[in-house]
Amino acid sequence: MKYDYLIVGSGLFGATFAYCARQTGKHCLVIEKRPHLGGNTYCEKIEGINVHKYGAHIFHTNNKEIWDFVNSFVPFNRYTNCPIANYHGELYNLPFNMNTFTQLWGVRTIEEAKAKIDEQRAEALTSLNGREPANLEEQALCLVGKDIFYKLIKEYTEKQWGRPCTELPAFIIRRLPLRFVFDNNYFNDPYQGIPIGGYNVLINKLLEGIETNTNCDFFGEFKDSWREIADQLVYTGPLDEYFNFRLGRLDWRTVTFKTRVENTPNYQGNAVINYTSHDAPYTRVIEHKHFEMFGQAVYNCPKTVVSEEYSAEYKPGMEQFYPVNDERNNALADQYRELAAKEENVIFGGRLAEYKYYDMAPVIEKAIKTANIIFLR
Ligand SMILES: Cc1cc2nc3c(=O)[nH]c(=O)nc-3n(C[C@H](O)[C@H](O)[C@H](O)COP(=O)(O)OP(=O)(O)OC[C@H]3O[C@@H](n4cnc5c(N)ncnc54)[C@H](O)[C@@H]3O)c2cc1C
């Protein structure tokens, strides 16, 4: 059997491309090295709850076409991301908004909040004595002042990067949006939610009628022989691995998870709690049921599943989550991209193959655009 496309990887890029190809009558085989489909959106059912196995995934977009596209496969629920910060047991709403300012200082009006922030910013600027901020700590202090920085940014950022803020470059934080409204919605996008029934429903619908093969590693089975079974290759695995790391390895940041079942229907009352002090070694605790169960419905399910998230330095064998956009890695990725451009009949797409961080909506958009360029020409 000869396929039009061999698609390596069943994440949102591979699955969306496969769907578009099938719509135009193309014959595809999707292979996936993990034991399940869906890439990083995959959810595992534990105690009747969809557990986001590769980290909390919240769909959000300002693109109506993409929102309509995903909703044509599965309706999305009303989940709105409103994370909370826990600093030594004190709770604050995020992102920084009037609720946060009231909790920090007891202020009641916009003017009082602005005056407090202006006063603390001025203090930071004065201590710089006219020079530019030399590191992330100085930069953040100038942007939001000491209270927000020390309680909500400093130690959380240090856990994320594994280094003191004084040793991190200022450019990491260019802006720190402050909202002078009582609004805890983390995203500015007009469309947001979680697929009803979980992300696996979306992936299974995209891949309906398409041949798939899990536990199948491209490098173990097809790397040298794929042209015998398919005309074209869509590769969504790591860019450097495709070329057998011949120019060196690209670096990543990763997150590890400790997931457990708690014998209570409601553990923390919110899907996402950020731990912004060093006394908690994890950065966030996710309680998965709150992505899909709201209000009293939380109590219909007697148990709950929580995941602690730990930021970690990537080592081979770990999950490749966030590309490291420093000079070395950007230059190396460019060299690999040059090699990729020379590969005949191979499309490199998605976060691993492009060595680029994508949210879900943009990766779907990119896969549709890539497919349209090919199929509509
Ligand atoms: C921790 C974390 C949290 C995130 N949270 C959000 C969020 O809240 N909202 C949001 O919009 N986006 C979020 N994202 C981004 C989202 O995960 C990506 O947009 C999406 O996964 C990209 O899809 P993809 O197909 O490019 O990659 P993936 O989903 O990674 O799919 C690639 C697939 O290729 C497979 N593969 C690789 N190599 C091979 C091989 N050799 N043979 C066979 N198969 C192979 C992999 O196993 C994988 O299944 C988050 C990402 C991370 C890391």
- Name the closest-CA residue to atom 51, ligand 1: 321
Write out pLDDT tens, residues 266-323.
Answer: 999 999 999 999 999 999 999 999 999 999 999 999 999 999 999 998 988 899 999 9
Choice from 360, 364, 369, 370 to test ligand 1 binding pocket (greatest atom count within 8 A of CB): 360
**In this structure, what are the phi and psi dihedrals at residue 308, rounded to the nearest 5 degrees?**
-90, 140
Q: Which domains does the chain have, with CATH numbers?
A: 3-78+190-247+324-375 (3.40.50.720), 95-172 (no CATH)
Task: Quote the CA–CA distance of 183 and 82 in Å, as a whole number.
Answer: 9
- Name the closest-CA residue to atom 3, ligand 1: 55
Token digits of residue 46: 């534990």
Of 88, 139, 53, give the one whose Cα is nearest residue 274: 88
Write out pLDDT tens, residues 119-165.
Answer: 999 999 999 999 999 999 999 999 999 999 999 999 999 999 889 99
In this structure, the number of other CB atoms found within 10 A of the CB of residue 162 comes to: 11
Tell me if the pTM is above 0.85: yes
**In this structure, what are the phi and psi dihedrals at residue 336, rounded to the nearest 5 degrees?**
-65, -35
Of 351, 120, 376, give the one whose Cα is nearest residue 239: 351
Token digits of residue 282: 């994890």
Q: How confident is the model at residue 326 (pLDDT cuts 50, 70, 90)?
A: confident
- Concatenating the DSSP letter of every residue in 29-62 gives EEE-SSSSSSGGG-EEEETTEEEETTS---EEES
Give the helix/strand (H/E) hosting 348. strand 346-348
* HSE-CB of 29 using CA atoms within 13 angstroms: 18
Name 90's bridge partners: 87
In the reported structure, the alpha carbon of residue 351 is separated from the centroid of ligand 1 by a whole-number distance in angstroms of 7
Task: Quote the CA–CA distance of 107 and 113 in Å, as a whole number.
Answer: 6
Token digits of residue 81: 């991301």
Residues 321/55, Cβ–Cβ less than 8 Å: yes
Q: What is the mean pLDDT of the chain?
A: 96
What is the predicted pLDDT for the residue at 162?
87
What is the predicted pLDDT for the residue at 220?
94
In the reported structure, the alpha carbon of residue 352 is separated from the centroid of ligand 1 by a whole-number distance in angstroms of 8
Residues 203/86, Cβ–Cβ less than 8 Å: no
- Name the closest-CA residue to atom 20, ligand 1: 360
Give the residue numbers marked as catalytic: 175, 179, 253, 284, 309, 357, 359
In the reported structure, the alpha carbon of residue 230 is separated from the centroid of ligand 1 by a whole-number distance in angstroms of 24
Write out pLDDT tens, residues 14-68.
Answer: 999 999 999 999 999 999 999 999 999 999 999 999 999 999 999 999 999 999 9
What is the predicted pLDDT for the residue at 84?
98
What's the whole-number mean pLDDT along residues 234-245? 98
Give residues (CB < 6 A) around ligand 1. 8-14, 31-34, 39-41, 55-59, 217-219, 236-237, 255, 321, 350-352, 358-361, 363
Give me the sign of the Cα torsion angle 105, 108, 113, 115. Answer: negative
What is the predicted pLDDT for the residue at 1?
64
Tell which atom from ligand 1 comes closest to the C-alpha of 15: 25
